[in-house]
Chains A and B, each alone.
Chain A
């Protein structure tokens, strides 16, 4: 039995199931990260002293990571647009590019974390580092999650393009929405943690 409105849109909402589903999921993600940003505000305003981000973290690495994620958002939307224009090969390369840019972001994050941890500066070291590791750690987990989904659509999930191209395009669109949200979170994380 086929689930209705997987591909065709509902006449009342004008949406397919997945489109409303992914937006509702992103709404929950807004509250998740919002809670942590709220925590950051409480911790910072309640502290006698709070370090300047640039004194604790590397602004150049943070800026490079911002450029990487923005670029990955561009390649992600281009992957979807290529599919809409029926160019599967271009789509595949843009999706691979998105995956690789995300990978480089995680590599940078690894070196950042390793540098702190090698000096004994883990989350236990200060309130600032505690919220830094929590926020960026949760964000990094979301990056990994996105990469897993992308890897699926680059590899084993790509067959859906031949069987049901419309459904495949929808799934890439939903993946893109998630990925742009992850980029959006970093757009706020970078200035809050690195520059303030």
Chain B
């Protein structure tokens, strides 16, 4: 598609529109911070907005909306491994090690996950 000069000329408007949208979403991200939402809601909202912005950059600026199969294949593999990587912190809390510890001597273990 982009070998056609006219197609690229038409894409320029899209690039500028997406650039503007990214700036608007940045304002929304900062404004949402001042809502003082509970931490889980704030994290969820911030990551949703960040994901929308990242998708726009990837799809339009990085031309992923019309790429070749081999690129999609490499990225699908990457996403799969990335999900595993992000899930590793969950694995650290999924076992039962330390759960039987209770009482004043083990108060630090009992309150370990309280602060986030």
Contact = CB atoms under 8 A, between A and B. Distances in A.
A13 B68 contact: yes
- Chain A interface helix/strand/loop/mixed: helix
B30 A63 contact: yes
B115 A42 contact: no
Q: Which of B2, B8, B62 has the most CB of A within 10 A?
A: B62
Interface residues of A, number: 52
A118 to B, nearest CB: 26
A154 interface: no
A77 B26 contact: no
B104 interface: no
B85 A38 contact: yes
Contacts of B81: 31
B116 A20 contact: no
Contacts of A71: 19, 23
Contact of A195 (B30, B62, B88): B30
B89 A187 contact: no
Interface in B85-99: 85-86, 88-89, 92-93
Contacts of A190: 29, 50
Interface in A163-193: 176-177, 180-181, 183-184, 187-188, 190-192
A81 interface: yes
Main SS at interface, chain B: helix
A13 B19 contact: no
Contacts of B19: 70-71, 73-74
A13 B61 CA distance: 21
Interface of A: 13-15, 19-20, 23-24, 27, 30-31, 34-35, 37-38, 41-42, 44-50, 54, 59, 63, 66-67, 70-71, 73-74, 76-78, 81, 84-86, 176-177, 180-181, 183-184, 187-188, 190-192, 195-196
> Which 4 A-B pairs have CB atoms at the shortest separation, nearest pair first?
A74-B19, A48-B115, A191-B46, A27-B78
Interface of B: 2, 5, 8-9, 11-12, 15-16, 19, 22-23, 26, 29-30, 32-33, 39, 42-43, 46-47, 49-50, 53-54, 57-58, 61-62, 68-71, 74-75, 77-78, 81-82, 85-86, 88-89, 92-93, 111-116
28 contacts: A13-B69, A15-B68, A27-B74, A27-B78, A38-B86, A45-B113, A48-B111, A48-B115, A59-B33, A63-B30, A66-B26, A70-B19, A71-B19, A74-B15, A76-B61, A77-B15, A78-B12, A81-B11, A81-B15, A84-B2, A85-B8, A180-B61, A180-B62, A184-B57, A187-B53, A187-B57, A190-B50, A195-B30
